[in-house]
Structure 1
Amino acid sequence: MAPAETVCVTGASGFIASWIVKMLLEKGYNVKGTVRNLESENAKFLRELPGASERLELFAVDVMKPGLLDSIFEGCDGIFHTANPTPSLVGGKVADPEAIFVETALKGTLNVLESCVKARPKRIVLTSSIVSCLLTPKNVPGAVIDETFVTDPDFVRKVIPSGDFASYAIGKTLAEKVAWDFVKKHNLSMVVMNPAYVIGPTVLPTVNTTNEVPLEFLNGNTKTIKNESGCWVGVKDVAMAHILGYEKPEAEGRYILCEKVMHLGDFASLLQKLFPQYNVVAREDPNAQPRATPFLINNEKVKELGVNLQPLEDVLRELVESLKELKYLN
């Protein structure tokens, strides 16, 4: 990599994006980052990262407004598009999930890509989600999910009650499809990352939505365990996968990022085993039968990219240390 290489990260003050920014700076890149508010606490933390004073420039941009990214993307060798609203996994609801999670994903992604047509970066890395793979009639018991699995929005509407998660899954799926159609039409190079629930230590002083899940177990706020499985991956691996997806010419297509799939009851038991000092009181409903069977995921493709997935137990240990430093846990 040439020392003067310049890339832009949209939504730079997000959980995954902040790690991408941190690692890019450590590798010597010049980084542009878009944020909603230059005066936010998260934006201030980004400016304190090693190398930020010399090689990080932040811009207050609403990616929902067309054309605002044109001048920012100018001269960029790569674009990492991570900006996207994420639903709460522990109970928070929005008033209009279709507008927040579907329209925002589609319009924001298209605006980014329209600016990419003018800037012509050598590669775009799009942050999608594993929800763009899981929710399909192909996902039957015993099936091994890989990058060929694509969520079917009609199937989502049939099997999931309308709400935040359904709209998020549909929005992520449609935005990814639109992106693939767009880059093919305009001859742009793109790879897509499809991470599972991303957890781990934070660069920022805030707790993101997926880290809320283990936090709510550890502080005793979660009492009842849903009869479902979760899929987990460490945030540092996700950030590194984005960077390798940009740097490696042979990178192509989609990459599922998942280290472990387990029933939420087993996840709670793991937290209790690793951290007996905390009050994990959540219990499974004995009447919720049959117990959901964890689905199967093939994560070989991202390993071939060069990502050595950190074991979930180690990710959780780093997460707890981070939460203690931020005073979310004692």
Structure 2
Amino acid sequence: MISSNYLANAKEAVCVTGANGFIGSWLVRTLLEDGYTRIHASIYPGSDASHLFSLPGATSPNVRLEVYEADILDYTSVLKAVEGCQGVFHVASPCSLEDPKDPHRELVMPAVQGTLNVLEAARTAKVRRVVLTSSISAIVPNPNWDPETKGSFDESSWTDVEYCKSRQKWYPVSKTLAEKAAWEYAEKHGMDVVAINPATCLGPLLQPSLNASSAVLQQLLQGSQDTQEHHWLGAVHVRDVAKAQILLFNAPAASGLLGKHNQA
């Protein structure tokens, strides 16, 4: 039996940043399947979100799936997307297999400042909870973390940012700094923020373009022999990530700090 609390939460308006990406599209689909009828789909200006309206239930008479063009570096546009929502799923973050020409401008600043803009907008809009989509890349690689002596990775584990910088691994740098900034902001302002750190997300594509994690699988199938030091390449189904995000949004037990921060 579905509890009355769950039904109440299912009617809350929620915002999904990066809604037309790989994880974001699956999150929108799963929200629709779970009975959410007011969804603000935030997308990068000029990007294509037409496939979202082909998702099951997206065009039902009682559903309001609204697309907001919002660059996460533009606070005003982010606030417009978040206003009127009780929950925010922050998924948007730049990710590319190409080596960035300007790592700070292309990856680090959008990840960090974009996250802070989303949190500031959520605080202004009095959002109940923010679910931050972090990454296993905020936990590994770290050559100084020895599982034999320190045990399994947990909420105290962080990627070694300086190590990654020295090897031009800018995506882990961006995700680590963004998550740390989120926890600092949440603690300072007393916000209810939870985070999920999925490994490599794989599964069927809902969006028309190939995303970075699926491209990694494609490269492996095509015979790539690239190696990664001090890294752990696990995989998780994107559908499970979407379900976990919604569970985090609704679970009262996820509120508060677990160890150093609030993770799943």
Q: Give the TM-score of the pair, scaled to structure 1.
A: 0.69
**Could you tell me which residue of structure 2 aligns to residue 213 of structure 1?**
216
Deviation, structure 1 residue 184 = 1.4
The letter for the 1-side match of 2:171 is Y
**Could you tell me which residue of structure 2 aligns to residue 264 of structure 1?**
none
1:97 and 2:103 equivalent?
A: yes
The letter for the 1-side match of 2:129 is R
Q: Is contact 1:192-1:253 (8 Å) kept? A: no
1:176 and 2:184 equivalent?
A: no
Aligned CA RMSD, in angstroms, stands at: 2.2
1:78 and 2:87 equivalent?
A: yes
| Higher CA-based Rg | 1
Q: Distance in 1 between matches of 2:116 and 2:186?
A: 10
1:224 and 2:225 equivalent?
A: yes
Deviation, structure 1 residue 137 = 4.9
**Could you tell me which residue of structure 2 aligns to residue 280 of structure 1?**
none
Describe how 1:153-164 pairs up with structure 2 within 5 A: 153-157=161-165, 160-162=166-168
**Could you tell me which residue of structure 2 aligns to residue 196 of structure 1?**
199
- Structure 1 pair 55/11, CA: closer, same or farther in 2 (3 Å)? same
**Could you tell me which residue of structure 1 aligns to residue 4 of structure 2?**
none
Number of residue pairs the alignment of both structures matches? 245
1:56 and 2:57 equivalent?
A: no
Deviation, structure 1 residue 206 = 2.1
1:32 and 2:40 equivalent?
A: yes
Deviation, structure 1 residue 227 = 6.3
**Could you tell me which residue of structure 2 aligns to residue 132 of structure 1?**
138
Q: Is contact 1:194-1:254 (8 Å) kept? A: no
The letter for the 2-side match of 1:189 is D
Deviation readout 1:283-312 (Å, 9 max, x if unpaired): xxxxxxxxxxxxxxxxxx85xxxxxxxxxx
Describe how 1:226-305 pairs up with structure 2 within 5 A: 226=227, 229-252=232-255
Deviation readout 1:187-224 (Å, 9 max, x if unpaired): 11010111111111122222211111222333x3x353
**Could you tell me which residue of structure 2 aligns to residue 65 of structure 1?**
74
1:116 and 2:122 equivalent?
A: yes
More strand by share: 1
Q: Give the TM-score of the pair, scaled to structure 2.
A: 0.85
Deviation readout 1:152-207 (Å, 9 max, x if unpaired): 323433xx422xxx221111111111111111111110101111111111222222
**Could you tell me which residue of structure 2 aligns to residue 15 of structure 1?**
22
Identity %: 39
The letter for the 2-side match of 1:33 is A
- Structure 1 pair 223/82, CA: closer, same or farther in 2 (3 Å)? closer
Q: What SS does the aligned partner of 1:112 have?
A: helix
The letter for the 1-side match of 2:114 is G
Q: What SS does the aligned partner of 1:63 have?
A: coil
Q: Distance in 2 between matches of 1:254 and 1:21?
A: 27
Deviation, structure 1 residue 110 = 1.1
Q: Is contact 2:132-2:196 (8 Å) kept? A: yes
Q: What SS does the aligned partner of 1:195 have?
A: coil
Deviation, structure 1 residue 138 = 4.3
Deviation, structure 1 residue 23 = 0.4
Q: Is contact 2:16-2:40 (8 Å) kept? A: yes
Q: What SS does the aligned partner of 1:67 have?
A: helix
The letter for the 1-side match of 2:13 is T
Q: Is contact 2:141-2:159 (8 Å) kept? A: yes
Q: Distance in 2 between matches of 1:64 and 1:200?
A: 29
Match of 1:147 among 126, 137, 155: 155
Structure 2 unpaired stretches of 5+: 1-6
Q: Distance in 1 between matches of 2:234 and 2:133?
A: 17
- Structure 1 pair 25/224, CA: closer, same or farther in 2 (3 Å)? same
Instruction: State the structure with bigger RCO (CA 8 A, min sep 6), 1 or 2.
Output: 2
